[in-house]
Structure 1
């Protein structure tokens, strides 16, 4: 009697395989790095290629592109929108520059040349909310992955060209986005924060964690994203915590659900309540954090979570007074350093010449904030200054004032940087035991990838009119 049972099992397997193969999976994967008007990003195209390969391996039809102009990005989005209509699962992955203006997120094609807010709204950048709505709204499950939370390279121009009668909101990183039904949105870091780009020629920490966890066999999507958060936080020494917003209504598996128990075997012991283990792991990873945005990420992910009251209490405590550990990082620092804002005017008042700017860059390198010692405060240097300010608890702007400048000089006075040329520094880095002596035993952060972005899914029949119309509104 075992033969009929075997035949029946084989028939079930055939039907199961047929159902799996019938599931329509479509992905849009693009990495932009070779920008024409701002500093290039070395890794987005590498990130996109790796992600496209991973998704193809688990059955996705991938619309892929690297270093696309606005016209080419529009072509790819049109193609993706058509393919995503009625799809069972649609994935949108973007790596590269993104910006947030007025609370709205935009992706930047490589030919973007933005001088004002009007340039953004007239189509030089691609509105993420509108794009997702027009390409993915008909898909049953929508997964949006944005490795684009870098500093806005056009922020200074947009602000300087704003009408004198009103202010323009140009923020660091990307703005928060809400997910619709059946949608999971994941950012490389929290709203208003910037993410790391990783070593040149490799993957960013966020993409590397996605590749390691997203398509693991039998791993549910939200559990995979929890592992992604934990991996990025560990790799960056708690310097970066991916953030997300989800409104999924069921379990989602990108590489097959766990196999059911064989007939006649005892059922597995029931796990804890759905999501409890995931929530506990998330809470453990951020419960001792001194960053309110990380605790806010927990509250956003688990609005009814068992640790919500503890998270809110800690947030209130952190926001009421600066971290004493941060204040004590250097002795003799004026308390006003922690509240006085810095901008282009305050930095100009210091009167830094090129040699002094190069000295600041050397000192930042000595503290583990990697930047080129060019003597010019370009966008990458501004991003590094912002990271240094964030790590010390100073107001983040990317510019210095007299107090912050004095604090920086005091901080590493015990280990003054040695004079060296830019050409010598890479060689010294490659030599084991070489390099400058660091005044602080801090791990060296990876270079920042500068960019930002944001999502929200949708369909394609109305894509052309919707996108063009939205850009011209």
Structure 2
């Protein structure tokens, strides 16, 4: 009831606080899990997609990749290094296998095949210290998050093949020292291994990062204190994140206006000027902030695409662990049960043979359900994020790609006389029911509470 009261109160006024980003922010986000020579990890790709979505929504230019070979990872790093030149904030996030050899840390591409120390040091792995030095040295603030302490099967192989001279190989990562203006955070302590989490969800460390580092008005070091506490509690004290920091001044990834003003005089502190949060938006957020129903959180995002609490809403949606709500599950009544277990990837989606018009249809259907996206006919990064959000809300494997069963499920949710009547241009934002309302001859039937609410509110407020 309180949700609908708050929803109806929006009809009185709509004032959206648009963030005006004043600094240059660049992020490298990669998750490697589909290893070819050892058992795959189920969650790094999910971790990377969730983190990339969160960072984009607080103003980062994100270089993103999942399941990268050595060559592809090098390409992404070169791109990141160029973009990070002169950055106010450079952020490095990696999820996947990592290994420490004689005190040096290495990240592992999916094609790594490590049998000896020589394999590690002569190019099969990515040296962390060298990588950070070459890509982030010019940034004022450097934030490094390494969720790379999984139990590593390569470590045993290298130990068994070691020569007579001393060789230290650890499954986890080794201690690293931060430099001036840098924060380094590990999923767990030196030489220890971290949990990957339940398959198809975020790891405990990434989940805690998503929940805390972009919280409005929270300074990054305060956020990391909360991250450590959350992971420690969630893992029953079996895992405690660890790190070093040599930051100068306060750093906010999502400052509120007051925090930005208070730190305006602090040197080397990235500043973000953001508009005030309206009373209506604040009341709306309070009414759904504790909700476990993705459709309610998506309703907030639809009506406040640049809202003050956007990053928090996305962070709650992306790593939902308890499955979709009962209401959401009812939307999929009659759907083949295999839809909930069959993963989709690029190959499966390519097999659908979707042309440009059919891709637009998918995008419009997602928007009609409250998962707002642009009907461009191109499945770009933003569309992949929206597909992942839809999959998470429905309890499907979250990959950002569609297969035959998921496409049929989506089509069965939105039974419309007409998904859209206008032919949207490739480079123009679409003006459709999900964002601007259900009027103007565009009528949708079904889709559940999220779709109904998005259409109702959009109809009340047109731009």
* Structure-2-length-normalised TM-score: 0.52
Contact 1:99 1:151 in 2 (8 A): no
Residue in 2 that maps onto 1:430:
none
The superposition leaves residues 324-355 of structure 1 with CA deviations (integer Å, 9 ceiling, x where unpaired) of: xxxxxxxxxxxxxxxxxxxxxxxxxxxxxxxx
Query: Structure 2 unaligned runs (5+)?
Result: 1-17, 263-463
Corresponding residue of 2:84? 84
Count of equivalent residues: 246
Per-residue CA distance 1:167-207 (angstroms, 9 max, x = gap): 21002311000000000000000111110011000000000
CA contact (8 A) 2:28 2:91 kept: yes
Tell whether the 8 Å contact from 1:220 to 1:257 is kept in structure 2 after alignment. Answer: no
How far did 1:226 drift? 0.3
State the match for 1:433 in structure 2.
none
Alignment CA distance shift 1:259-1:106 (3 Å) = same
Corresponding residue number in structure 1 for 2:218: 219
Q: Which residue of 2 aligns with 1:142?
A: 142
Report Cα offsets for 1:24-59 as digits up to 9, x if no partner.
000000000000001100000000000000000000
1:27 and 2:27 are equivalent in the alignment:
yes
Post-superposition offset of 1:261:
11
Q: CA deviation at 1:155?
A: 1.6
SS at match of 1:250: coil
Secondary structure of residue in 1 paired with 2:258: coil
| C-alpha RMSD of the superposition | 1.9
d(CA) in 2 for partners of 1:178, 1:136: 15
Do the aligned partners of residues 207 and 260 (structure 1) sit closer, same or farther apart at CA in structure 2, a change above 3 Å counting? Answer: closer
Partner of 1:205: 204
* 1:167 corresponds to: 166
Alignment of 1:155 with 2:155, yes or no, is: yes
Confirm or deny that 1:46 pairs with 2:46: yes
The 2-side partners of 1:153 and 1:61 are apart by 34
- Inter-partner Cα distance in structure 1 for 2:130 and 2:260: 44
Shift of 1:158: 1.1
User: SS of the residue aligned with 2:93?
Assistant: strand
Which residue pairs with 1:93 in the alignment? 93
Deviation at 1:150, TM superposition (A): 1.5
Do residues 132 (structure 1) and 121 (structure 2) align?
no
Residue 259 of structure 1 and its aligned partner are, at CA, apart by: 1.4
* Greater relative CO, 1 or 2 (CA 8 Å, sep 6+): 1
* Separation of aligned partners in 1, 2:146 and 2:213: 14
Which residue of the partner structure matches residue 114 of structure 2? 114
The 3 A distance-change label for structure 1 pair 81 and 163 is: same
Q: Which residue of 1 aligns with 2:322?
A: none
Q: Which residue of 2 aligns with 1:332?
A: none
Q: What is the alpha-carbon distance in structure 2 between the residues aligned to residue 161 and residue 88 of structure 1?
A: 44
Equivalents in 1 of 2:48, 2:65: separation in Å? 8
User: Is the 2:98–2:171 contact (alpha carbons within 8 Å) kept by the matching residues of 1?
Assistant: no
SS in 2 for 1:154: helix
Tell me, what secondary structure is at the counterpart of 1:105?
Answer: strand
1:258 CA displacement: 5.2
Q: Partners of 2:99 and 2:56 in 1: how far apart?
A: 29
- The answer to whether the 8 Å contact 1:33/1:45 transfers is yes
Indicate if the aligned counterparts of 2:28 and 2:93 stay in contact, CA closer than 8 A.
yes
The answer to whether the Cα contact below 8 Å between 1:25 and 1:89 also exists between their aligned partners in 2 is yes
Give how far 1:154 is off. 1.2
Q: 1:37 to 1:43 in 2, by over 3 A?
A: same
CA distance in 2, matches of 1:200, 1:42: 5
* TM-score relative to the length of structure 1: 0.51
CA contact (8 A) 1:31 1:48 kept: yes
Give the whole-Å Cα distance in 2 for the aligned partners of 1:146 and 1:261: 28
Whole-angstrom CA distance in 2 between matches of 1:70 and 1:226: 34
> Would the aligned equivalents of 2:116 and 2:157 in 1 still touch at CA under 8 Å?
yes
Distance in 2 separating the partners of 1:183 and 1:199: 31
**In structure 2, C-alpha distance between the alignment counterparts of 1:172 and 1:261, rounded to whole Å:** 41
Alpha-carbon distance in 2 for matches of 1:133, 1:97? 20
Cα offset, 1:152, TM superposition: 2.5
**Is the 8 Å Cα contact of residues 175 and 190 (structure 2) preserved in structure 1?**
yes
Whether the 8 Å contact between 2:217 and 2:259 is mirrored in structure 1 is no
- Residue 254 of structure 1 corresponds to 253
1:217-249 CA-to-partner distances (Å, cap 9, x unmatched) read 110000000000000001011110000100001
- 2:244 matches 1:245: yes
1:73 correspondence with 2:76: no
Tell me the alpha carbon deviations over residues 350-390 of structure 1, each in whole angstroms, 9 at most, x when there is no partner: xxxxxxxxxxxxxxxxxxxxxxxxxxxxxxxxxxxxxxxxx
Q: Does the residue aligned with 2:146 lie in a helix, a strand or coil?
A: strand
**Which runs of 5 or more residues in structure 1 are unaligned?**
1-16, 268-473
Tell me how far apart the structure 2 counterparts of residues 40 and 129 of structure 1 sit (CA, whole Å): 25
Query: Does the 8 Å contact 2:153/2:171 carry over to 1?
Result: no
* Structure 1 segments of 4+ aligned residues over 4 angstroms from their partners: none
